[in-house]
Amino acid sequence: MKMKLLPISAAIAAILSPMSVYAEDLNSTAAEAEKAEQPLILNADTEINTGLVFSGYARYGLHYSDDFKEYVGAEGQLSGASAGRLGNEGNGGEFQFTKAFVADNGAIWDVAVMLEHWSDKVGLKKFYAGVTNVFEAQPNAYLWAGRDFHQRPQEGLNDYFMMEHDGQGGGVYNLDIGSVKLDFAVVAKADSGTGDSEFYAFTSKLHDINLGESNNLSFLFNYGFESDQYDANGARENDDKITAYQLAAVLDTNYSNGSTKLTVRYADNADNSTFNKTEDLTTLYGSFQGNFKVSEKWDTEFLVSYHDYKNDGNEMAEPGNDTRSRTGYSAIVRPMYNWNAVHSTWLEAGYSLVDYENDGENDAWKVTLSQNISFDMAGARPMLRLYATVGEANNEASVYSYDKKQDTLAIGAMFESWW
């Protein structure tokens, strides 16, 4: 694999190194896009764009590999792209239209609809309405109802959602309770049509807990439950319903030359969503991530994570259904050199290990070299990337019958944008 990597890396560097590169945080979601012109969560002081706001997030491009595996990952990994996402992710996008209104009484409303394209079909991901500045005692509380992205704190380098409760329901953001704020909602996992499934969740977040000028602490609690479902004869379809809960704490710290985030999450009968429940399952997830500016030209991002998945119930080892107890470890680092505000060079290296309790280990490593052209301002998109990825996976505990060792060499051209 080293022989494969060197000529590809040298070719890209030789062709494109005179160009300049721009480095930025890859925590890119539709939420980032909407903040550019209108925030996702309105408050009494929001300056409204009364026109129709088109926003979104997308990445599309070519990813060529003649190997059996196009992308690099350890089988059974639990935390997104645990060996790193750069040059190691597929295509898709989210496209949103938002319209805001200001009532004569001062209330500020918005209505949003979003389509997503992450598979063969285009689906309705969002359709909600919200309002703020309706209660004199809580002018900044934002009330909403409908279908929405919901409670999905994301990590950038591995593209992992530490929690995810997308669905339809209603709730409130930014309820002032003294010096801190509270969010809460009740949401349902949407079925294949327009209705609810039988899976529901109460979600909450206590945030803006300031610990000095540089530290901000948040606590999250979620509770998942199921409704009574009956068949055509009036009998219950599911008499063994279970519940689940999650507890998490997130500490954000800002420095003069960067920032860090420490995350810890515990879940009972669930992993990253209380919609999806497994009896006798307990999970513990922890991560430490950050970015720091080394010099005028150099920036670096990093992430290390630990993910323990303990299943004391019915373990399965089938393709597409691996519920065996295991522990995942991940480390990713991405140094980025900014030639100027338009051109940048990134090098991302990552390692993922999945240690099964009784069945051996799977591991994977990946290195990606990417030459980028971005919009002419710091942190801006769109961005064009020309990249080469090389990696290897050793899946001793694989549930598949094919070769348990896979080498991957891929080259690609991709655009990424939020707007």
pLDDT tens for each residue of 66-103: 888 899 999 999 999 999 999 999 999 999 999 999 99
Q: Is the pLDDT of residue 34 over 90?
A: no
In a domain, 234, yes or no: no
In a domain, 157, yes or no: yes
In which residue are the tokens 């939420």 written?
31
CB 337 within 8 A of CB 23: yes
The pLDDT of residue 401 is 66
In which residue are the tokens 């990606």 written?
368
Q: How many of the other CB atoms lie within 10 Å of CB of 384?
A: 15
When divided into structural domains, the chain yields a total of 1
Q: Helix or strand or coil: residue 298?
A: strand
Domain that holds residue 279: 2-144+153-174+251-418
Q: How many of the other CB atoms lie within 10 Å of CB of 64?
A: 10
E-assigned strand segments in 256-404? 258-270, 277-293, 298-311, 317-318, 321-322, 326-338, 343-356, 361-374, 383-395
CB 252 within 8 A of CB 215: yes
Q: Is the pLDDT of residue 38 over 70?
A: no
pLDDT averaged over every residue in the chain:
88
Please report, for the domain that includes residue 73, its CATH number.
Answer: 2.40.170.10
The Cα 338–Cα 39 span in angstroms is: 29
Instruction: Determine how β-strand 180-190 pairs with β-strand 167-177.
Output: antiparallel
% of the chain surpassing 70 pLDDT: 87
Stretch 292-311: mean pLDDT: 95
CB 268 within 8 A of CB 244: yes
Cα 13 to chain centroid distance, Å, stands at 30
The Cα 386–Cα 25 span in angstroms is: 18
Residue among 382, 387, 345 nearest 366 (CA)? 387
Tokens of 65: 């590999």
Query: How confident is residue 152, by pLDDT bands cut at 50, 70 and 90?
Result: very high
The Cα 143–Cα 137 span in angstroms is: 14
Tokens of 360: 């051996």
* Least confident interval from 136-140, 162-166, 415-419: 415-419
**Quick one: which H or E segment has residue 116?**
strand 108-117
Stretch 373-378: mean pLDDT: 74
Q: Which residue has the higher pLDDT, 354 or 14?
A: 354
Q: Is the pLDDT of residue 18 over 70?
A: no
Q: Is the pLDDT of residue 13 over 50?
A: no
In a domain, 386, yes or no: yes
HSE value, Cβ hemisphere, 13 Å, CA-based, for 186: 5
The Cα 22–Cα 341 span in angstroms is: 5
CA distances from 165 to 201, 204, 397 (A): 8, 11, 30
CA distances from 163 to 15, 102, 267, 357 (A): 41, 33, 10, 24
pLDDT tens for each residue of 214-265: 999 999 999 999 987 655 555 555 557 899 999 999 999 999 999 999 999 9
Instruction: Determine how β-strand 326-338 pairs with β-strand 317-318.
Output: unpaired
Q: Which residue has the higher pLDDT, 190 or 31?
A: 190
Q: How many of the other CB atoms lie within 10 Å of CB of 14?
A: 9
Q: Which residue has the higher pLDDT, 2 or 113?
A: 113
Cα 48 to chain centroid distance, Å, stands at 28
Q: At residue 375, what are phi and psi to the nearest 5 degrees?
A: -60, 155
pLDDT tens for each residue of 376-417: 655 567 999 999 999 999 999 988 867 789 999 999 999 999
In which residue are the tokens 């992993």 written?
271
In a domain, 226, yes or no: no
In a domain, 296, yes or no: yes
Question: 216: Cβ–Cβ under 8 A, 6 or more apart, which residues?
Answer: 207, 208, 209, 210, 251, 252, 253
pLDDT tens for each residue of 325-361: 999 999 999 999 999 989 999 999 999 999 999 889 9
In a domain, 140, yes or no: yes
In a domain, 218, yes or no: no
The pLDDT of residue 23 is 29
Tokens of 130: 């919200």
In a domain, 116, yes or no: yes
Q: Quick check: pTM over 0.75?
A: yes
Instruction: Find out whether the peptide bond into 18 is cis, omega within 30 degrees of 0.
Output: no
